[in-house]
Amino acid sequence: MESLARERQRLGWLSRGLLVIAAVLLAGVLGLSRMLVPDPRGYGTHTQLGLRPCAFATLSGRLCPTCGMTTAFAWFVRGRIDRSWRANPAGCLLAVLSIPLMIWLLSCAARAEPLGFRSLSGPLMGLLLAGCMLSLASWLIRWTVSPAALTAAGPGPPAAAGAIGR
């Protein structure tokens, strides 16, 4: 066990500072999510931040892999895991995982080493890839399981997609 500790990457002040900043940003995302009102359609909550409606949904009439992520976070911080999951399963999982991730980031910064790993690059790259894979898998499942709910009747956001967020 002691040899593993010696082989671990020691984190300098810059890395530790970035880990703290990342944890604070995650906390900020959760705090901001609490201030938003979840869109009852299951997507579109991000427009409260001044962002435009999803271009993919507008052009294709189908939800993109990230449609419903902001809504999922907004439902999660209200303790409505069921609605969070319906809005976007990947977003729900990312919201749930953000809390232990914040704790891990702060713990690594405090101990000046990546807890449970030899370096930061492996777990951070794994988290990035897992987030992308979760989004794509969720998207494919939504297209396969309920394609009718994702088809729009014309230009604009998917009209019938509200069934996903209810």
Q: What is the pLDDT of residues 60-110, one digit of tens each?
A: 778 888 889 999 999 999 999 999 999 998 899 999 999 999 999 999 999
Is 19 a member of any domain?
yes
Is 151 a member of any domain?
no
Residue 146 — very low, low, confident or very high, per pLDDT cuts 50/70/90? low
Is 161 a member of any domain?
no
Q: Residue type for 116, please?
A: G
* Per-residue pLDDT reduced to its tens digit, 54-74: 888 888 778 888 889 999 999
Domain that holds residue 72: 2-54+63-145
Is 164 a member of any domain?
no
Rounded CA-CA distance 62/116 in Å is 40
Is 16 a member of any domain?
yes
Rounded CA-CA distance 59/42 in Å is 18
Q: How many domains does the chain have?
A: 1
Asked if residue 139 has pLDDT above 70, the reply is yes
Is 162 a member of any domain?
no
pTM: 0.76
Is 166 a member of any domain?
no
DSSP assignment of 118-140, as one string? S-SHHHHHHHHHHHHHHHHHHHH
pLDDT (0 to 100) of residue 6: 56
High-pLDDT (> 90) share of the chain, %: 46
Is 141 a member of any domain?
yes
- The beta-strand segments (E) located in 31-99 are none
Asked if residue 50 has pLDDT above 60, the reply is yes
